[in-house]
Amino acid sequence: MALQQIVEQTVTGLGYDLVEIERCPGGLLRITIDLPWEAPTEGAPVLPEQFITVEDCEKVTRQLQFALEVDGVDYKRLEVSSPGIDRPLRHEQDFIRFEGSVIDIALKAPMGAAAAGQVSPLRKKFRGLLSRADSGGWQIVWSDEPPVKPGQKVSKKRAPAPVQVLGFTLDELRDARLAPIVDFKGRGAKSGQMPG
């Protein structure tokens, strides 16, 4: 059986979602897991988001070690972890789950002649707020305005940087991840808002 199948069957059989499998130098096999997600139903109470624990990783590690040994998969070290703050977005369901979050995307090819406004036609990497496009696809919205530093005075006469919008399909993406934004000021700011 192929590595992908062994890992996927083991992880989903234990009630988790497989996010990523990586074979790294030195024989390291890195498996990233997450808790299953279902779209909230209308009228249902909103439950607090749950996260992968060390116990979850240990449980999957023990089961994977056994499954990989039975199938004779060659590896030196196994690492099972949660996706972290820069979680990769791979499937349509990931984009639905994290709609309204700030993400980083990298396109397979530069935008070319389709680039409009202030964006370079050679640009491939973007950070913005993920949302549904009117066409039914996906888009990110951002402003290239530099963040205001604490104590800095901003002139009221200065025109704000224009808001940019880029529509994309999942086929056009080389990589998409949640933006690793950490707010050290506590939980006062709403999650999903773009920084400054």
Give tens-digit pLDDT for 107-144.
998 875 555 556 677 888 889 999 998 888 899 988 87
Is 61:81 a contact under the CB 8 Å cutoff?
no
Nearest Cα to 19, choosing from 36, 3, 37, 32? 32
Other C-beta atoms closer than 10 Å to the C-beta of 145 total: 14
Is 33:60 a contact under the CB 8 Å cutoff?
yes
For the chain, give every residue range classified as CATH 2.30.30: 92-178
* More confident of the two residues 48 and 103: 103
* More confident of the two residues 147 and 101: 101
| Cβ neighbours of residue 16 closer than 8 Å, sequence gap 6 or more | 33, 34, 35, 36, 52, 56, 60
What percentage of the chain carries pLDDT values higher than 90?
37
Helices (H) and strands (E) in the chain, counts: 3, 8
Angle at 30 between CA 171 and CA 183, to 5 degrees: 75
Longest Cα–Cα distance in the chain: 69
Residue 50 has pLDDT above 50, yes or no: yes
For residue 186, what pLDDT is reported? 62
For the chain, give every residue range classified as CATH 3.30.70: 3-81
CATH architecture of 3-81: 2-Layer Sandwich (3.30)
For residue 34, what pLDDT is reported? 92
| Cβ neighbours of residue 88 closer than 8 Å, sequence gap 6 or more | 19, 20, 32, 94, 175, 176, 177
Instruction: Please provide the CATH number assigned to the domain covering 92-178.
Output: 2.30.30
What percentage of the chain carries pLDDT values higher than 70?
88
Tell me the pTM. Answer: 0.74
126: Cα separation from own chain's centroid: 13
